[in-house]
Every structure is written in C-alpha cells, then in structure tokens.
Amino acid sequence: MNGITTREAVRTEVKGQARAGSVARIAMAVALACSAGGAFAADWSDTFIGYTYGPQMRQPGSDEFVTKNIFTLQHVSGYKYGVNFFNVDMLKSDTNNPAKGPTIGQPSKRGAQEVYVVYQNTLSFNSLTNSKSFTAGPIADLGLQLGFDFNSMNDTFGAGLIKLIGGPKVTLAVPGLLQFGLLYYKEYNNNGFSGQNVDFDAALRLSSVWSFNFDAGLPSVIKGWATYTGQKGFNTLPETWFETSYLVDVGTLAGQPKTFYAGVGYQYINHKFGTNTHSTGIPGGKVSSPMFKFEAHF
C-alpha cells in the first residue's frame, strides 16, 4: 500500500538546524519527485500481480449488474524521502457493459475493456528533515502526496481521463498502516456521447488507506482504501468510493509465506464518477458488489 515511511533522527544536537532547513529541503524534494521520483534507490519494495472477480458491479448509464474480471500489477517501494506507489488495472466487462460498436447506436457484442493507471509519490516530512519533528502523540508522520490517475475505456462513453491529485497526508501510530489525506482533485475527461472533452471543476478529496495483519489460524490481512470526492461541477454529486478485502496468506501452507494471498472483498460506490441520478435519471450510479481476490507477490 501507499504508506509513508519514517526515519530515526541521527543527532539530537542538530535538530534545530534540521527544522530550520526543512522548508527548503521539502521544496527541493518535491521538485525531484516530480521530475524523477522513481530514480531513487528503493530501501524496500513489494510487487504483486493480482486477479479480482466482481459479479455485481455497475456502470453509469445502465442499472444492469456488470461482471468484471480485473487483472492488477501493483508496486510500492520506500526510498530515502518517502514512498512510490504504482498500480495498473486491466478490466474486462461482460456484455452488460458493451464495447463501442462499429456504427453509432450499435454496441459491440463484446464487453468493454479498460486500463486504469495510478501513480503516487508521498514525501515523508520526517525523512525530509532527517528527524522525528513530525511525530507527536497519535501521529507517526506527516507527508505530501503528489500523483495522477489515467484511464482509457472502449465503451460508448469512451472515458479518457486524467486526474491530478495532491495534498497533505497523515500517518497514524497504529500496529499496521492507517493514513488519511486532504487532497486537491482536478479531473479532465472525454464524453463520447457529446463528442467533447470535459474540464471538471477542482474539488476536495478526503482519502484513507489501511492495512492490518493478524492471525486467524493462518496469517491474514485486512486492507483497503476509501475516498470522498466533492462536487466537481454542474449536475454532479459528491462521490463515495470504498473498497476493502480480507486475504489469507495461503502460501504459508506450501512453505512460501507472504507470497500467495486469496480471499474476499467488497466494493461500495455512491454517485459513481459524480453521477447525479436524482436530476438526470441516469442509472448505475450506485455499486454494492462482493469481490473474490488473489495476489501473487514477488
């Protein structure tokens, strides 16, 4: 997951100097992260390929359940100043969400395909200042997230979005990972029905990420994320998106711990993509679906 690492202070006698220079160091690290964040050597990393089966998902425009098969490549790594997070989902819908057909008004007999990419670089203020200046009480660290989302989908709507997302994040001192973010959100997209690009208003996003290990006969993990994105323009509504999963470390049974995970998950979305079902009558803005998941880490 996209966590924020913390680093121990090296000398208490230079703490004052570290604080005084923190603003300059943060500004420099932001510039470096934007230009070459992935170039820093990783202190640790975790990469997995995954598969998710979701039988009761929906797309705005139809109230039919859509079955989706989702293949994932995810990488997260810690480096000197924070954490890099990269995720690619390749989604294949059934024919209840058809691909765009060869002629207008005639959808394909195949389900739509989508590629969704997320990149985030989270800078740790403790790491930037080489201190524990940003650790106090329940707060383990403060950070700054910078990143983007990118997608392309071949249904009739033809989504082709770019999201620019950034803002402060807080990591709480818990036995696991628990983070909250207060983020700037700006979306650019395509509307295949009108044949126009859409420049949405900037909005506020509240985000949360969690991951907790425990033992339920076998080592297990509960992890997930949630976002609340404010209204982003005319005729849109705030979007709530929640995903969580319970995964068992089944690789332990074969002597390969922390390698193979399998389990179940749940996805809930209200006003998907900001869809205003109340005033427009467009269905499919609400999702409540179980998920079945598998991950292979390497």
pLDDT tens-digit map of 7-42? 333 233 323 333 334 434 444 444 444 444 444 578
Contacts of 49 (CB under 8 A, 6+ apart): 71, 72, 73, 295, 296, 298
Q: Answer yes or no: CATH 3.10.310.30 is held by domain 12-297.
A: no
Length of the chain: 298
- pLDDT, tens digit (0-9, with 9 covering 90-100), for 203-256: 999 999 999 999 989 999 999 999 999 999 988 999 999 999 999 999 999 999
Q: What angle do CA 221, 147, 25 make, to 5 degrees?
A: 100
Contacts of 217 (CB under 8 A, 6+ apart): none
**Residue 275 CB-density burial (10 A; 0-12 exposed, 13-18 middle, 19+ buried):** buried
Question: Rounded to whole angstroms, how far apart are CA atoms 242 and 289?
Answer: 11
Question: Rounded to whole angstroms, how far apart are CA atoms 93 and 273?
Answer: 17
- pLDDT, tens digit (0-9, with 9 covering 90-100), for 102-149: 876 677 889 999 999 999 999 999 999 999 999 999 999 999 999 999
- pLDDT, tens digit (0-9, with 9 covering 90-100), for 165-208: 999 999 999 999 999 999 999 999 988 777 778 899 999 999 99
Give the range among 11-15, 78-82, 177-181, 285-289 with minimum mean pLDDT. 11-15
Handedness of CA 21, 25, 28, 30 (dihedral sign): negative
Cβ–Cβ under 8 Å, residues 283 and 96: no
Mean pLDDT of 39-59: 91
Q: Can you give the residue ranges of every domain in the chain?
A: 12-297
Q: Name the token pair of 35.
A: 């230009």
Question: Rounded to whole angstroms, how far apart are CA atoms 278 and 275?
Answer: 9
Assign 14 to helix, strand or coil. helix
Contacts of 28 (CB under 8 A, 6+ apart): none
Q: What angle do CA 224, 226, 231 make, to 5 degrees?
A: 165
Biggest CA pair distance of the chain:
72
Assign 207 to helix, strand or coil. strand
Question: Rounded to whole angstroms, how far apart are CA atoms 240 and 279?
Answer: 18
